[in-house]
């Protein structure tokens, strides 16, 4: 049984959240899905944009937004995959010696929208790329 359902989103650092939302809307046919409440992250302003089923999470550093280009190279530029059974995928990773960033997946409730509840965990791919696994919660 395959546990990965689809790509959930791709996360990109940006220098100006509003400018980036406008750019992706005007030129790439994305629309704003939601802004995440400012108190959700102590270090980032976050917006989710979508085009059909495809989503991009735009991340603007709260301090020194000019560092966005550097952050994309070193930190949180990531791809997220939606899972049917997150625990099974995490167990398979750990059995192969691959560690996740946190001991347990983090529950994110009402993330940007009421009822948008999911569990999430990050790990690194073979080239150091950051990968997020998510599972929707009901």
- Structural contact between residues 136 and 120, judged by C-beta atoms closer than 8 angstroms: no
Does residue 48 or residue 1 have the better pLDDT? 48
Per-residue pLDDT at 75 exceeds 80 = no
3-state secondary structure the chain: CCCEEEEEEEEEECCCHHHHHHHHHHHHCCEEEEECCHHHCCCEEEEEEEECCEEEEEEEECCCHHHHHHHHHHCCCEEEEEECCHHHHHHHHHHCCCCECCCCCEEECCCCCCCCCEEEEEEECCCCCEEEEEEECC
Per-residue pLDDT at 131 exceeds 90 = no
Segment 80-130, tens digit of pLDDT: 888 899 999 999 899 999 999 998 998 888 888 888 899 999 988 766 778
Per-residue pLDDT at 48 exceeds 60 = yes
Percent of the chain whose pLDDT exceeds 70:
88
Per the prediction, the chain carries an average pLDDT of 85
Second-level CATH architecture of 4-136: Roll (3.10)
Q: What is the pTM of this model?
A: 0.66
Mean pLDDT along residues 58-68: 78
Per-residue pLDDT at 72 exceeds 60 = no
pLDDT at 127: 60
Q: Which two tokens stand for residue 39?
A: 């108190």
Segment 50-60, tens digit of pLDDT: 999 999 999 88
Rounded to 5 degrees, φ, ψ at 37 are: -50, 135
Segment 99-111, tens digit of pLDDT: 999 989 988 888 8
């Amino acid at each position: 049984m395959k546990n990965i359902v689809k790509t959930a989103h791709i996360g990109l650092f940006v220098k100006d959240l509003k400018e980036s939302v406008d750019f992706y809307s005007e030129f790439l046919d994305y629309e704003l899905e939601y802004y995440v409440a400012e108190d959700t992250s102590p270090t980032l302003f976050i917006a989710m944009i979508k085009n059909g089923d495809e989503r991009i999470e735009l991340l603007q550093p709260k301090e020194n937004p000019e560092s966005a280009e550097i952050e994309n190279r070193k930190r949180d530029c990531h791809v997220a995959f939606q899972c049917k059974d997150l625990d099974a995928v995490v167990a398979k990773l750990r059995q192969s010696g691959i560690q996740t960033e946190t001991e347990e997946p983090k529950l994110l409730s009402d993330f940007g929208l009421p009822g948008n509840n999911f569990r999430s965990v990050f790990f690194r791919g073979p080239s150091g790329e950051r990968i997020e696994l998510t599972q929707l919660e009901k």
